[in-house]
């Protein structure tokens, strides 16, 4: 009985592909390049999958509807908002109990700087632009939901809100320094 020959054509390309192939049926994901945390040389990138289900800014970036500078400007706004927000805080069981009264923690310098930047953003964008950016980047609303909140439900208004939001993202990229006044990206960044 003759022995079967082995096929010598190995597929080596798929060996290091560690992306998960099983996602939930209602998942909204996009591939994104990130820095390799296990890299030997700095600057190495890997492809990762991120969820864009409740991330309007990430969804716009994944579908190439906004550029890198707009995306980074939006993320900088979100970071400042989170840093400046002093919302409800949970009880800290490690702190000493004194008649249930909690002393407020002092405002840090990074919180103060974030509030100053947010004030500048509101001045630059105006009341309507700042409200639109807040609705999308903080509350996570879609253009249709924004139209419903403002009692305008036509496609024309949705298009207007989308166009205005992109203008606000351009302004955020300029305020946070991801582009120059001529629109050219800063050194080391691509547009």
Distance CA 43, CA 34 (A): 9
Residue 47 bridge partners (DSSP): 33
**The pair of three-digit structure tokens given for residue 184, joined into one six-digit string:** 């050219």
- Stated pTM of the model: 0.72
The per-residue pLDDT for range 67-100, each reduced to its tens digit, is: 999 999 999 999 999 998 875 556 666 766 666 5
Query: Is the distance from CB of 77 to CB of 121 less than 8 angstroms?
Result: yes
Distance CA 44, CA 30 (A): 20
**The pair of three-digit structure tokens given for residue 17, joined into one six-digit string:** 């592909």
Question: What pLDDT shows up at residue 159?
Answer: 94
Distance CA 99, CA 133 (A): 41
Query: Is the distance from CB of 47 to CB of 31 less than 8 angstroms?
Result: yes
Return all residues near 178 (Cβ < 8 A) that are at least 6 apart.
68, 69, 72, 73, 76, 185, 186, 189
Query: Is the distance from CB of 49 to CB of 20 less than 8 angstroms?
Result: yes
Q: Percent of the chain having pLDDT more than 70?
A: 74
The per-residue pLDDT for range 8-58, each reduced to its tens digit, is: 555 544 445 566 667 777 777 777 777 888 888 888 888 877 777 788 898
Q: What angle do CA 60, 73, 141 make, to 5 degrees?
A: 45
């Amino acid at each position: 009985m003759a022995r079967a020959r082995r096929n010598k054509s190995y597929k080596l390309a798929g060996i290091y592909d560690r992306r998960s192939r099983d996602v939930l049926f209602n998942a909204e994901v996009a591939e994104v390049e990130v820095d390799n945390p296990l890299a030997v040389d700095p600057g190495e990138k890997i492809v990762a999958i991120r969820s864009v289900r409740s991330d309007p800014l990430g969804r716009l970036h994944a579908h190439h509807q906004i550029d890198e500078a707009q995306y980074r400007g939006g993320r900088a706004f979100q970071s400042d908002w989170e840093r400046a927000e002093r919302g409800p805080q949970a009880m800290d069981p490690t702190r000493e109990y004194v008649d249930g009264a909690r002393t407020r923690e002092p405002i840090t310098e990074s919180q103060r700087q974030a509030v100053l930047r947010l004030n500048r953003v509101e001045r630059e964008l105006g009341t309507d632009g700042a409200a639109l950016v807040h609705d999308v980047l903080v509350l996570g609303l879609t253009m249709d939901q924004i139209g419903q909140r403002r009692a305008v439900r036509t496609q024309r208004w949705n298009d207007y809100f989308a166009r205005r939001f992109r203008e606000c993202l351009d302004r955020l990229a300029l305020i946070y320094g991801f582009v120059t006044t001529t629109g050219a990206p800063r050194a080391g960044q691509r547009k």
